[in-house]
Amino acid sequence: MSLQISTATVADAAALNQLVNSAYRGESSKKGWTTEADLLDGTRIDEEALRDLIQKTDTTVLLCKEEQELLGCVELRQDGDKIYLGMLSVKPDTQGKGIGKKLLAEAEVHARGKRCSKIYMTVISVRQELIDWYARHGYRLTGERKPFIVPDTRWGIPKQSLEFVVLEKPL
């Protein structure tokens, strides 16, 4: 697999929207192991929100492609001397092929380039398999928990009470 990493532009918003929602929600997400379809109804994000995210000066969205096919992405937002890592998404039928690992490695390169000392993220607390995957890549639970708040039903409708745990990795 010959993977290329690049920075997303507004022109990538439609493809990113399809990728992220296919990785997290709906029937297509059930082909992979990162699905949230049993936890939330609705969409994970929409094209407008992605365009807004890409245009933020403190945020970089990295793309992972093979040839011209979009296989993965990750959001990296500067937060002082830390980077928030979010929206790590891999096309469901290509999960398990090292794309997520490649994006995590590139996130660390990006963070070091910004002189950050840590990368942190939030993960839904009941997603133990995902927490374990991040732990295998050097991320540790901080003990901090945050409420799972959906400010807008466009981002999903919880099917049960949910909360986030915070994981971080020193660089």
Strands (E), 38-138: 40-41, 59-66, 69-79, 82-90, 118-124
Q: Give the model's pLDDT for residue 97.
A: 92
Give the pLDDT score at 151: 66
| pLDDT mean by block of 10 residues, the chain; 171 residues | 93 96 78 77 89 97 96 97 96 92 97 97 94 97 91 75 95 96
| 3-state secondary structure at position 134 | helix
Q: Helix or strand or coil: residue 117?
A: coil
pLDDT the model gives residue 41: 79
Please tell me the distance from the alpha carbon of residue 34 to that of residue 30, in angstroms, as a whole number.
8
Chain centroid offset of residue 114 CA = 19
Residue with tokens 């409708």: 157
Please tell me the predicted confidence (pLDDT) of residue 29.
67
Domains of the chain: 3-170 (3.40.630.30)
Greatest Cα-to-Cα distance within the chain, rounded to the nearest angstrom: 41
> The pTM is what?
0.93
With contact defined as beta carbons under 8 Å apart, do 130 and 29 qualify? no
